[in-house]
């Protein structure tokens, strides 16, 4: 069975600074998808970024980028130029292509300080 | 447009009540999901519908009854719930193409359920 681990329950960053959220996963599958979702206090789960395992190039979406290390089974999220609106709980998620299930990590709460 | 809508936003019910949660999407997605989320925890998958057919039931108690009347609509019927069922119930949808599960789930804002 696949597992996803986020080892940082809470993180904080100064506004305009850069922060990296960690995620590791365990799987025996060779092909899969990885996601970062953001859930602000208003609770809507929003997709931040997605990475296909077969792609070596790291995904980027504006100020958000990932460092995908397939061999190490690591998938960290870097947020550049942090903004107050980035404050939220961030979930790393693994999607099995076999079962279709989305497996979430425990989440990291990000605080952005003005 | 990646909008999934859910109604109601909040629901308070007694243990003997019957109520329903509603989820709707108009993105042409053919897979729809129900998740349960406790505070500060990740969502837990409950049910998956693919092409209006129930494809996954994660051993959810029968007091939760899902229904998918058409490809745009997903309901969750609630009956004889327990206080521990109080949680945020999230609906999600994805393209759900038959050839691949490699599609992204888009979530609704959720229904905050309180069982007294």
Q: Out of A43, A47, A109, whose CB is closest to B104?
A: A47
Q: Contacts of residue A52 in chain B, CB cutoff 8 Å?
A: 102
Taking the alpha carbons at both ends of chain A, their separation in whole angstroms is 41
**Residues B75/B23, Cβ–Cβ less than 8 Å:** yes
Reported as a single tens digit per residue, the pLDDT across A50-98 is: 999 988 899 999 999 999 999 999 999 999 999 999 999 999 999 987 7
B101 and A96 within 8 Å at the Cβ level: the answer is yes
Relative to beta strand B44-50, strand B53-57 is antiparallel
Token digits for B101? 């599960």
Asked if residue B8 has a cis previous peptide bond (ω within 30° of 0), the answer is yes
Report the pLDDT value the prediction gives residue B102, as an integer from 0 to 100. 55
Report the pLDDT value the prediction gives residue B100, as an integer from 0 to 100. 52
pLDDT at B66 > cutoff 90? yes
B90 and A47 within 8 Å at the Cβ level: the answer is no
Q: Contacts of residue A96 in chain B, CB cutoff 8 Å?
A: 101
Residues facing residue A49 across a β-bridge: A36
Mean pLDDT in chain B? 91
- The DSSP output letter for B85 is G
Q: Contacts of residue B88 in chain A, CB cutoff 8 Å?
A: 43
pLDDT confidence band for B2 (50 / 70 / 90): low
**Residues A3/A32, Cβ–Cβ less than 8 Å:** no
Report the pLDDT value the prediction gives residue B34, as an integer from 0 to 100. 97
Average pLDDT over residues B34-52: 94
Report the pLDDT value the prediction gives residue A70, as an integer from 0 to 100. 94
**Residues B13/B38, Cβ–Cβ less than 8 Å:** no
Taking the alpha carbons at both ends of chain B, their separation in whole angstroms is 37
pLDDT confidence band for A30 (50 / 70 / 90): confident
Using the Cβ of A47 and the Cβ atoms of chain B, whether some distance falls under 8 Å is answered with: yes
Please name the residue of chain B whose CA is at the shortest distance from the CA of residue A100: B101
How near does any CA of chain A get to the CA of B13, in Å? 21
Average pLDDT over residues B29-38: 94
Report the pLDDT value the prediction gives residue A100, as an integer from 0 to 100. 79
Please name the residue of chain A whose CA is at the shortest distance from the CA of residue B5: A44
Alpha carbon distance B74, B32 (integer Å): 7
Q: Contacts of residue A89 in chain B, CB cutoff 8 Å?
A: 40
A and B: number of Cβ contacts within 8 A:
51
Please name the residue of chain B whose CA is at the shortest distance from the CA of residue A45: B107
Average pLDDT over residues A31-39: 94
Average pLDDT over residues A40-54: 90
Report the pLDDT value the prediction gives residue B39, as an integer from 0 to 100. 92
Share of chain A above pLDDT 70, in %: 100
**Residues B68/B49, Cβ–Cβ less than 8 Å:** yes
How near does any CA of chain B get to the CA of A15, in Å? 23
Average pLDDT over residues B47-72: 94
Q: Out of B40, B101, B109, whose CB is closest to A100?
A: B101
């Amino acid at each position: 069975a696949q597992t996803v681990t986020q080892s940082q329950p809470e993180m904080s960053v100064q506004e305009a600074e850069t922060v990296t959220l960690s995620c590791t996963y365990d799987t025996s599958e060779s092909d899969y998808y990885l996601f970062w979702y953001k859930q602000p206090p208003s609770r809507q789960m929003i997709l931040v970024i997605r990475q296909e395992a077969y792609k070596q190039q790291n995904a980027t979406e504006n100020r958000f980028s990932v460092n995908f290390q397939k061999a190490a089974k690591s998938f960290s999220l870097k947020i550049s130029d942090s903004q107050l609106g980035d404050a939220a709980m961030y979930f790393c998620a693994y999607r099995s292509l076999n079962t279709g299930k989305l497996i979430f990590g425990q989440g990291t709460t990000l605080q952005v300080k003005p | 447009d990646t909008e999934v809508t859910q109604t109601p936003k909040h629901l308070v019910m007694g243990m003997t009540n019957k109520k329903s949660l509603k989820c709707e999407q108009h993105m042409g997605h053919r897979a729809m999901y129900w998740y349960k989320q406790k505070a500060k925890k990740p969502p837990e998958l409950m049910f998956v519908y693919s092409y209006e057919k129930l494809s996954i039931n994660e051993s959810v108690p029968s007091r939760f009854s899902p229904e998918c009347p058409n490809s745009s609509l997903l309901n969750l019927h609630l009956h004889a719930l327990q206080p521990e069922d109080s949680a945020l119930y999230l609906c999600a949808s994805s393209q759900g193409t038959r050839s691949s599960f490699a599609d992204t789930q888009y979530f609704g804002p959720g229904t905050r359920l309180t069982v007294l």
